[in-house]
Amino acid sequence: SPSRSSVIIVGAGVSGISAAKILAENGVEDLVILEASDRIGGRIRKEDFGGVSVELGAGWIAGVGGKESNPVWELANQSDLRTHFSDYSNARYNIYDRSGKIFPSGIAADSYKKAVDSAIQQLRREETIRESIRGCGSDVTRVTEPPSAPKTPIELAIDFILHDFEMAEVEPISTFVDFGEREYLVADERGYEYLLYKMAEDFLCTSEGKILDSRLKLNKVVRELQHSRNGVKVITEDGCIYEANYVVLSVSIGVLQSDLISFRPPLPRWKMEAIETCDVMVYTKIFLKFPHKFWPCGPEKEFFIYAHERRGYYTFWQHMENAFPGSNILVVTLTNGESKRVEAQPDEETLKEAMGVLRVMFGPNIPNATDILVPRWWNNRFQRGSYSNYPIIPNPQLVQNIKAPVGRIFFTGEHTSERFNGYVHGGYLAGIDTGTSLLEEIRKGRKGEIQNHLLE
Ligand code: FAD
């Protein structure tokens, strides 16, 4: 018969591990962690490539140097994680056109300013429309003409950088407001995931870099979740059944939108609607290894942009020489539609496309890449995307509904973090938050039982 524990945690990414840790440290030790893949870390994942350790998922600790300290930055410092400061500010002065020339800095700066202004204008316009729909005294006639859409390659490239990366210049982003504007690239052989291992070490049995604790169960794909007033029953793909008083579900919003896990009874309508409404962003870092470097080096050249007539077509590039000198590795980032397109094609095809773009920028005589790495976050059935993307105009009710428990099912994960969704620290803080709410619920439940007992 299935054994019963207090809590089952589904998923061993940063949020699942931080939720488990807070529970274990507060007396809930009979917990079980079910992880679908063969490792912990989830969207934090390193791989050896071209002689160094590259991060396929989260790469940066974002939000450093501000008035409050980013908890993930603190963990990194405690572990002596090797990091490298990233200065994006010069990217706009390294925009290549289709003849391989860099746009003059005046033109680049002007285009950038125009794009920022038009994004702000667009945002204000949407706010006015919303307010007038809600009847907040706004006058529809105040709604201005929409700003003209980006058309030229340089406009499209800047639009891509502004909207698919960071809108910090358009709207304040809580991560940078709270923790500071600096970003550090993790460049450590042990990987970003070392932070998770260090967290796990505090409450699980480990030895020589491995987790040996039988409460962590790898290769356990949860397919069904039965829940009632009395408890939960979780069924995995290999036919195992686990029972508990509560379950903490840390799978991504993309997985919740897919049919991987069926709920019996089904989740209520308000929950389903919230899950369906949340956008999933796909973000793909493609790594390319070369026999030698042919691109300009130096800190102010770390990031460069290719302006093509197709938006997002191999637009955003980074050389790894600052973080890993002598590695001869370039990274190009694709998003959403372009990510899905390359995920569906053979890597040789992607290599050919990337080389085509590089030859436009650096001339026909550059060497071919000797190796390529294309992560597939969209097609991974345990991820279904890279991170949650809420509308830029805040909708507190939506996040509340995504986060709210349904009976004995508690939700966690980066997508449940109101201020920091989409980030590692968002996942980390969400785990602590959900763990804390569950502890309260368990305490209340116990008090209730004692009171019932006294009444009998
Ligand atoms: P996850 O890490 O997804 O953990 C959920 C776990 O659940 C996974 O291990 C999964 O295998 C498991 N699971 C799924 N389905 C099941 C099932 N049915 N049964 C059992 N287990 C299941 N953040 C930053 O701060 N900085 C960055 O630079 C950054 N860059 C990113 C780049 C990319 C390409 C990606 C993908 C993400 C990036 N992020 C970044 C976001 C960050 O990685 C995530 O916000 C964070 O890691 C999410 O943690 P989580 O615990 O919420 O989810």
Place of tokens 């001339």: 363
Same domain as 133, residue 165: yes
Q: Within a domain: residue 363?
A: no
- Report pLDDT for 78: 97
Q: Within a domain: residue 342?
A: no
Same domain as 422, residue 398: yes
For ligand 1, the distance from its centroid to the CA atom of residue 252, given in whole angstroms, is 7
Same domain as 215, residue 176: no
Residue that terminates a domain, selected from 130, 163, 184: 184
Ligand 1: which of 251, 281, 379, 380 to mutate, judged by most atoms within 8 Å of the beta carbon?
A: 251
Q: Within a domain: residue 373?
A: no
Q: Quote the strand ranges of 152-272, DSSP E.
A: 182-186, 206-207, 210-211, 216-217, 222-227, 232-236, 241-249, 262-264
Assess whether the C-beta atom of 252 lies below 6 angstroms from ligand 1: yes
The three-class DSSP label of residue 345 is coil
Assess whether the C-beta atom of 408 lies below 6 angstroms from ligand 1: no
- Report pLDDT for 138: 62
Cα–Cα distances (Å) from 454 to 68, 98, 342, 440, in that order, read 47, 80, 64, 21
Residue that terminates a domain, selected from 134, 154, 184: 184
Assess whether the C-beta atom of 251 lies below 6 angstroms from ligand 1: yes
Instruction: Please identify every stretch of the chain with a pLDDT value under 70, giving residue numbers as ranges.
Output: 1-2, 137-142, 167-168, 453-456
Q: Within a domain: residue 382?
A: no
Cα 319 to Cα 143: distance, rounded to the nearest angstrom: 43
Q: Within a domain: residue 127?
A: yes
Cis peptide before 266, with omega less than 30 degrees from 0?
Answer: no
For ligand 1, the distance from its centroid to the CA atom of residue 62, given in whole angstroms, is 15
Assess whether the C-beta atom of 260 lies below 6 angstroms from ligand 1: yes
Same domain as 427, residue 411: yes
- Report pLDDT for 325: 94
Cα–Cα distances (Å) from 6 to 14, 263, 411, in that order, read 21, 19, 16
Place of tokens 């349904």: 406
Q: Which amino acid appears at position 41 of this protein?
A: G
Residue that terminates a domain, selected from 184, 210, 243: 184
ipTM of the complex: 0.99
Cα–Cα distances (Å) from 162 to 152, 249, 266, 452, 455, in that order, read 15, 32, 39, 58, 62
Q: Within a domain: residue 142?
A: yes
Same domain as 140, residue 12: no
Same domain as 202, residue 168: no
Cα 154 to Cα 307: distance, rounded to the nearest angstrom: 5
Same domain as 201, residue 172: no
Same domain as 197, residue 178: no
Residue 43 CA: nearest ligand 1 atom is 2
Same domain as 256, residue 118: no
Same domain as 247, residue 112: no
Token output for 227: 């829940």
Residue 261 CA: nearest ligand 1 atom is 18
Domain count of the chain? 2
Same domain as 265, residue 228: yes
- Report pLDDT for 246: 98
- Report pLDDT for 127: 82
Cα 47 to Cα 66: distance, rounded to the nearest angstrom: 31
* Cβ atoms of 49 and 375 closer than 8 Å: no
Q: Within a domain: residue 96?
A: no
For ligand 1, the distance from its centroid to the CA atom of residue 43, given in whole angstroms, is 3
**Contacts of residue 87, Cβ cutoff 8 Å, sequence gap at least 6:** 299, 300, 302, 303
Protein residue with least CA distance to atom 27, ligand 1: 58
Same domain as 269, residue 243: yes
Domain of 178 in residue numbering reads as 105-184
Assess whether the C-beta atom of 58 lies below 6 angstroms from ligand 1: yes
CATH at 269: 3.50.50.60
H or E segment to which residue 445 belongs: helix 424-455
Residue 421 CA: nearest ligand 1 atom is 45
Q: Within a domain: residue 403?
A: yes
For ligand 1, the distance from its centroid to the CA atom of residue 226, given in whole angstroms, is 24
Query: How do residues 122-175 score in pLDDT, each as one tens digit?
Result: 888 888 888 887 777 666 666 777 778 888 999 999 988 888 877 667 778 899
